[in-house]
Amino acid sequence: MDLPEELVINIIARLPMKSLARFKSVYREWKPFTESKYFRHLYHSNTSSTSCSNWSILRRDVGSRRSGLEEVKLDLPRESRHGNTSFASCFTLNTKNIKIKEIRVAACTDGLVLLRLELDDMTIRYDIGNPVLQQWIQLPPPPIPRGSSHYNYNDSGLVTRMHNHTLLGYKVVLIHREFRSFPTYRFFIFSSDTVEWSLQVHSCPGPSTNVTSRTSNPVSLNGKLHWLDLSGHITVHDFFSNDDQVRAISLPAKMQGSPRPSGMMVYTTSQGSFVLIDVEFMEDVTKSYNVRIWRLKCDSWSWEKAWDINLACVGLGRSCVPMAINVFDIDIIYLWDFHNKCFLACNLRTNTKSYGARKDGYAIFFERWWCLSQFVPSLQVVPTLEPKLI
């Protein structure tokens, strides 16, 4: 007996994402409505309450270009309803007749992943796609000026334009690794709307900043890139606006003078806001860390303190180092436990903890300035490389 289409859609919207991706490629009649705006909105509504989902975390060692972003799995007891989608199993790229020296993840946002491929002939190629849907698109090479090379640019970020949980477009941003005594930023930007690369120069009024290789690894949120520069400011730019200036935002008052020898900072996103985790090591080695979690309010560009807590209050010692905040719930912090060699999630509000599986031989290297991205699987279809009529 045939079921009503509305009932079928509601049933499918509750399936794990990996099954969804498989079914839509097998059964032709399901493909149109699984790619519709209505279905994406329904699917997002069903999953938005899963605040403790077992998302993958992508980590970048700031000082090492070679290591790039790597996937680390939390393996926490509470499983995501999406199931375990392995990154490695989803990388089915079109690499016929080419020899690849290295593939690494350059950026990710809103379910899309930007890959950087270094070929044996020293050329660089960029692919963007959705690893869940196994959809990948090769970008045209950026027009690097004569006398320069890819190594003069950081794979700075990937920004998206979203509306009602639907992907309308994206931009890939490369930032010039240039030492300057005045605050000017040079970007190479690829737009899915124009299907072209363009060079844009933006000024940064206000505090004097040094534009160096450290202005890399930005956090992407709502079409903006946020990154931490050497002057101790958060610099922000909206790549979908007509503003030709990059905004410099001072750190919270209690963090002025950072970086400190006795602390570290982690920056990420949670509940639709840019979040900064300020970790202050205590002089007494028997004590834990003081952790302050700051949320940046975009309407006023001011800081709001979400948490100010010593981790000893929730039973965590110095062996547990903060890594990220849950992308859906700012009360949930992810940590790496050096003593037990596992990841754990701690709800600071309820003092409940979830420990992952022990990972013997797994190494985590920490730096004072670093960036974490949480990969949230999605059903977003990457726009094809065709210029849009305006």
pLDDT at 230 over 80: no
pLDDT of residue 99: 81
Full 3-state SS string of 104-121 = EEEEEECCEEEEEEEECC
pLDDT for residue 306 = 95
Q: Which pLDDT value is given to residue 371?
A: 59
Out of 2.30.33, 2.120.10, 3.30.870, 3.30.70, the CATH code matching 50-375 is 2.120.10
Phi, psi (deg, nearest 5) at residue 264: -150, 165
SS (HEC) of 364-382: CCCCCEEEEEEECCCCCCC
Domain ranges of the chain: 50-375
The 10 Å Cβ neighbour count of residue 164 is 10
Model pLDDT for residues 43-59, shown as the tens digit of each residue: 666 655 444 455 677 76
The pTM for the full model equals: 0.81
* Each residue's pLDDT tens digit, 206-218: 554 444 444 557 8
The span from the CA of 49 to the CA of 28, in Å, is 30
Instruction: Give pLDDT tens digits for 265-317.
Output: 888 899 999 999 988 876 665 567 889 999 999 888 899 999 999 998 999 98
Per-residue pLDDT band at 165 (split at 50, 70, 90): confident
Query: From CA 108, how far away is CA 130, in angstroms rounded?
Result: 10
Average pLDDT for residues 79-104, to the nearest whole number?
Answer: 61
Distance (Å, whole) CA 93 – CA 14: 29
Mean pLDDT of 132-161: 79
Question: Could you tell me what percent of the chain has a pLDDT over 90?
Answer: 21
**Rounded distance between C-alpha atoms, residue 128 and residue 114, angstroms:** 5
